Amino acid sequence: MTSPLVECVPNISEGRDLEKINAIVEVVKQTPGCTVLGVEPDADYHRTVITFAGPPESVVEGAIALIEASVWLLDMRNHKGEHPRLGVVDVCPFVPLRDITLDECAELARTVVERLAQNGDIPLFLYGAAASRAERTMLSHLRRGEYEGLKARLDGSDQTHSNETKLPDAGAMIWSESVARSGGITVGARSILVAYNVNVEEQGASVAKKIGSIVRSSGRLLKSDAGGKIRSRGMLDSVQGMGVPVDELGISQVSMNLLDVERCPLHLAFKTCESLAEDHDTALCGSEIVGLVPLQAMLEAGRYFSPDATSDNALVSAAVDGLGLNRHHHFDPGKHIIEWALEQEGNI
Amino acid sequence: MTSPLVECVPNISEGRDLEKINAIVEVVKQTPGCTVLGVEPDADYHRTVITFAGPPESVVEGAIALIEASVWLLDMRNHKGEHPRLGVVDVCPFVPLRDITLDECAELARTVVERLAQNGDIPLFLYGAAASRAERTMLSHLRRGEYEGLKARLDGSDQTHSNETKLPDAGAMIWSESVARSGGITVGARSILVAYNVNVEEQGASVAKKIGSIVRSSGRLLKSDAGGKIRSRGMLDSVQGMGVPVDELGISQVSMNLLDVERCPLHLAFKTCESLAEDHDTALCGSEIVGLVPLQAMLEAGRYFSPDATSDNALVSAAVDGLGLNRHHHFDPGKHIIEWALEQEGNI
């Protein structure tokens, strides 16, 4: 007998101060029913991906507690990092893991936003399956201009947003000291995705940026001098991607979201980036799975790298080797593979 | 009142000896009802694209006369060129232009092969919509191993072809002196396509080859060390493509077939290649339309390069400028645009 299980993957705009990160994670751990499955700080992004799961009502409480703690502890006014962001919690998606639909997860996101809006001091945006209208579905549209552009959006001087994407869905609609600290917070719902970063052997991110815009499904926007616009598609299906430097390691990454890991398996993303890196006389140095990955995705990658392997363990091991998941990062199958992590936590 | 009109675009494996090329073109001109619309020799490819049109029965006679003349005048034994080829006439497609279906054009191709098979001294292959089975549809499959591999296919020692693609559909099934001269001849039917080559400012074709395999719809085949295989898709839809050097001009080309110019417009192909060339710190130097192009495709490119232009002439002119069709080659709208060429020929 199973029961509904929801994953929540908030990203907070703090990737360096472990004391603050731990304090924020702690409020989730203290929320009854919530199990923290991963905490992945990134100093260059200045951002931490936190993964937790539990029954829907518990995850709602955990998310609210996490957002309130982040608003309390973090401050956007001096925040600089490689990853685009709008506020102290820059994305807080609800993801259906078991016995719950995407629509029901969207309802959880709306509940969180309504509860937080009661104080009225944070600009709150709903995205993904929880978006209030089609134009607001894409996070990249809502986030255009990032934190630095938010003041202009609220005081009406912004020229880059349409009326459909400019303002928050709820909460603060006016710029203030507290909004300057928190920025805008984006809460949403989406299907499970795999956050997958491929490491490129280069300082800076010149090659990684080129690869990112070749592989991402949205491809490249191509303009004519006279203002004509057309878009090529990318080499990978259902993938968001961009190139970023990882100064800490002296490498760069093609940072991707595999939105449908059946359409774009891990090994396809890896080998396509590898082939494009070779075009530029450089090489890959492994890759990184941030957060959770479905077991099937690892098994499929394992079959590609080691067609003769049969057991799940041997296939996972072949995938870890083939994708170089331990080259610059650490991959613990018991923590990163959803099914195995849930087992370890007593099925939550 | 219109009548059925068919285009035939044979490619002959001679791109240097103008006397021979003219003699072969002449037999088409002498065929009642056939109008030659284009003759485009390419010395590097060692190949000439001939375009003619007319009523179905005339085009069948013209194609047979052209193939017989090519078998008589050309000799594959010392042929070397940049373009893959199997014999002296390497592709002879029938293309529906007006009031005729693709299936009816396939029937014309089969008629040509049956008539030529009566002599029995040429290996004849049917491809495209005229293929005798699904595995034989793709020219690249039938042509694998090229002219140099044909002997092994006929004497049974070939290991690269499956039984489905190895042998001719009709004509010679045994290697002989005359087969050594003619090679294999591929006759087929297809929808209208645009043969479109983008010029890259580089000697050799190192960048053009990379671009070709990124843009072509079939993308790149990615192998693991242990034999796993997976394919990325390319950035352009319904496009075949490869990079080739054009030593004559000291440049290279991304040589493409736009199989559906509505799905991949000319300007999308051009600008995508341009963007990828810039990745490699090189530039494009115009492009080339080989044979005919539908007026709509030129108008659409014109609207991209010059959104304010309105007349057909102004739009075509903007497309010619934007695509650089006169940079290294010559584009005569009255000869290359199907509708205008037909008008000039009195609607044939």
Please, is A281 exposed, middle or buried when counting C-beta atoms within 10 Å of its C-beta (0-12, 13-18, 19+)?
A: exposed
Are A104 and A12 a contacting pair, CB within 8 Å?
A: no
Give the tens place of pLDDT for each residue, A180-206.
999 999 999 998 999 999 999 999 999
H/E element, B317: helix B312-322
Are A89 and A10 a contacting pair, CB within 8 Å?
A: yes
The answer to whether A83 is a known catalytic residue is yes
Are A176 and A116 a contacting pair, CB within 8 Å?
A: no
Q: How far apart are CA B121 and CA B292, in angstroms?
A: 33
Q: Percent of chain A, pLDDT > 90? A: 88
Give the tens place of pLDDT for each residue, A221-250.
999 999 999 999 999 999 999 999 999 899
Q: Residue type at A215?
A: V
Average pLDDT estimate for A161-188: 96
Instruction: Give me the phi and psi of B87, to 5 degrees please.
Output: -165, -170
pLDDT band at residue B1 using 50, 70 and 90 as cut-offs: very low
CA distance B316 to chain A (A): 15
Closest residue of chain B to A271, computed from CA coordinates: B222
Give the tens place of pLDDT for each residue, B246-284.
998 999 999 999 999 989 999 999 999 999 999 999 999
Are A85 and A145 a contacting pair, CB within 8 Å?
A: no
- Burial code (b: 16+ CB inside 10 Å, e: under 16) for A216-244 equals bbebbebebeeebebebbbbbbebbbbbb
Are A82 and A245 a contacting pair, CB within 8 Å?
A: yes
Tokens 């072949």: give the residue: A318
Record: contact B307-A227, CB cut-off 8 A: yes
What are the chain A neighbours of B216 within 8 Å (beta carbons)?
none
Record: contact B272-A235, CB cut-off 8 A: no
pTM over 0.80, yes/no: no
Q: How far apart are CA B128 and CA A36, in angstroms?
A: 57
Reduced to 3 states (helix: H, G, I; strand: E, B; else coil), residue A219 is coil
Tokens 């936190």: give the residue: A50
CA distance B272 to chain A (A): 7
Q: How far apart are CA B19 and CA A255, in angstroms?
A: 58
Does the pLDDT at position A103 exceed 90?
yes
Closest residue of chain B to A308, computed from CA coordinates: B226
Inform me whether the C-beta atom of residue B322 falls under 8 Å from chain A C-beta atoms.
yes
Closest residue of chain A to B217, computed from CA coordinates: A235
CA proximity to B121, closest of B69, B182, B49, B56: B182
DSSP β-bridge partners for residue B96: B6
Does the pLDDT at position B216 exceed 80?
yes
DSSP β-bridge partners for residue B342: none
What are the chain B neighbours of A303 within 8 Å (beta carbons)?
228
H/E element, B103: helix B102-117
Identify which of B237, B276, B305 has the shortest CB distance to residue A228: B305
Size of interface A-B (CB pairs under 8 A): 94
What are the chain A neighbours of B230 within 8 Å (beta carbons)?
265, 267-268, 271, 304
Identify which of B224, B235, B305 has the shortest CB distance to residue A226: B305
Does the pLDDT at position A215 exceed 70?
yes
CA proximity to B94, closest of B29, B197, B23, B5: B5
Q: How far apart are CA B15 and CA B37, in angstroms?
A: 17
Inform me whether the C-beta atom of residue B281 falls under 8 Å from chain A C-beta atoms.
no
Does the pLDDT at position A1 exceed 70?
no
